[in-house]
Amino acid sequence: MVTTTGISDRYRIETKQLDMPPRLLLGPGPANVNPRVLSAMSISPVGHLDPTYLALMDEIRDLLRYAWQTENELTISVSGTGTAAMEATLANAVEPGDVVLVGVKGYFGNRLVDMAGRYGGDVRTMTKPWGQVFSLEEIKTNLENHKPAILALVHAETSTGACQPLEGVADLCHQHGCLLIVDTVTSLGGVPLYIDEWGIDLAYSCSQKGLGCPPGASPFTMSSRAVEKLNNRPKPVPNWYLDMTLLAKYWGEQRVYHHTAPINSNYALRESLRIVAEEGLEQRWNRHQQNAEMLWSGLAELGLSCHVDREHRLPTLTTVRIPDGVDGKAIARKLLTEYNIEIAGGLGELGGKVWRIGLMGYNSRPENVLLLLDALEKVIK
């Protein structure tokens, strides 16, 4: 018997069996997931050094390479949610004193600024009104002015619904000896994206949007150019959990223990990536585009307008202007409480001005568009 005197029962609270409401998640993520993914997630865990788990890690790496269209050796899932993968990117790319140029045209650009600063970057910004994107000419001018070691851009701004064109950007960066970081949190699995063809050096994403998986294990990839910078650091990465010099030894052939991975989250991620490979990127990107266009037409019929120009509108995330005199929060609350449908309000500068509607991964289906438009019409009236 062990000594157990003095145990307090103050927080030994009684709780009910978990019974979450059947939400249709049409906000900026998480989105609902294919039941196959939840089924894989609930398989009993094996050890993080079990040969069967190591084989699964290899499959995740390859399937991520397909989804991202890259041959990068260092393509892994980070053991945390998308923000952890974002932090991993900055922690491993930014060295103290590096000039880091960040394109800010929404909330997540600002987050890049904050994080890059915490890793000692000499952070410069170029800005655009929220909902717009940078032209190649603007990027060129800023690269020439700031001569950064790193340019960080958000491909799909989850706060604005705008898609930043990336073709040609890396060529400019590499001419200036600069690495290109791209946030693909709301594009991977839903929007055309070619890591290698576009020359992107570091990218991160999440599992719970275009990939159609619960949050918990998050895609990360790094080119050999970025690995070279990492290997030449005079001091260790100032973040042990996300240090890619250590993680590369666990994901690579050496299989050196680093930390206990979120086993079940990786079961789920594998299944969601498997579904991406079965469907194929071409069909998947077209499906997202078609369902988004169906949404945009329906919104127009309701007299609602989109915040982003058609040309740069993301199929995964649509920002809809809240009409004058309408209480946007009340509408979203009604959708949730009366119809179990989640949409989100604006973030930061767009707070109170837009709703954010996501059609991502498994949720990008015509029946969800129909239901949302119908419910929206009812609650707005």
Q: Which of residues 196-235 bind a copy of itself (CB under 8 A)?
A: 197, 206, 208, 214-216
Residue with tokens 């032209």: 135
Which parts of 20-59 interact with a copy of itself (CB under 8 A)? 20-23, 25, 27, 29-30, 32-33, 38-50, 52-53, 56, 59
Tokens of 45: 């865990």
* Near a copy of itself by CB under 8 A: residue from 87, 95, 98, 183: 87
Cα distance between residue 189 and residue 273, in whole Å? 9
Nearest approach, Cβ of 307 to a copy of itself (angstroms)?
Answer: 19
Hey, which residues between 299 and 338 contact a copy of itself (CB under 8 A)? Answer: 315, 336
Question: Residue 312, Cα to own-chain centre: how many angstroms?
Answer: 18
Closer of 9 and 253 to a copy of itself (Cβ) = 9
Q: Which is nearer to a copy of itself, 41 or 126 (CB)?
A: 41
- Contacts of range 252-258, beta carbons closer than 8 Å, 24 or more positions apart: 252/73, 255/49, 255/54, 257/48, 257/49
Smallest gap from residue 329 Cβ to a copy of itself (A):
12
Q: What are phi and psi of 334, to 5 degrees?
A: -65, -45
What is the nearest approach in angstroms of a copy of itself to the Cβ of residue 120?
8
Q: Does the protein bind a copy of itself through residue 261 (CB under 8 A)?
A: yes
Which run of H or of E encompasses 281? helix 281-301
Furthest-apart CA pair in the chain: how many Å?
A: 74
Question: Binding-site residue total for a copy of itself (CB under 8 A)?
Answer: 101
> Nearest-CA neighbor of 92 among 226, 218, 182?
226
Q: Using CB under 8 A, which residues numbered 56 to 75 contact a copy of itself?
A: 56, 59, 62-63, 65-66, 69, 71
Taking CB under 8 A as the rule, does residue 157 contact a copy of itself? no
User: Two tokens at 291?
Assistant: 């369902």
Annotated binding-site residue? 124 = no
Binders of a copy of itself in range 271-290 (CB under 8 A): 271, 274, 277, 280-282, 285-286, 289
Residues 98-137 that bind a copy of itself (CB under 8 A): 111, 114-115, 118-119
Helix spans in 98-193 (H): 107-118, 136-146, 169-175
Q: Is 252 in the site for a copy of itself (CB under 8 A)?
A: no
3-state secondary structure labels for all residues of 207-251:
CCCCCCCCCCCEEEEECHHHHHHHHCCCCCCCCCCCCHHHHHHHH
Contact with a copy of itself (CB under 8 A) among 180, 203, 347, 369: 347
Residue ranges for the known binding site for substrate are 356
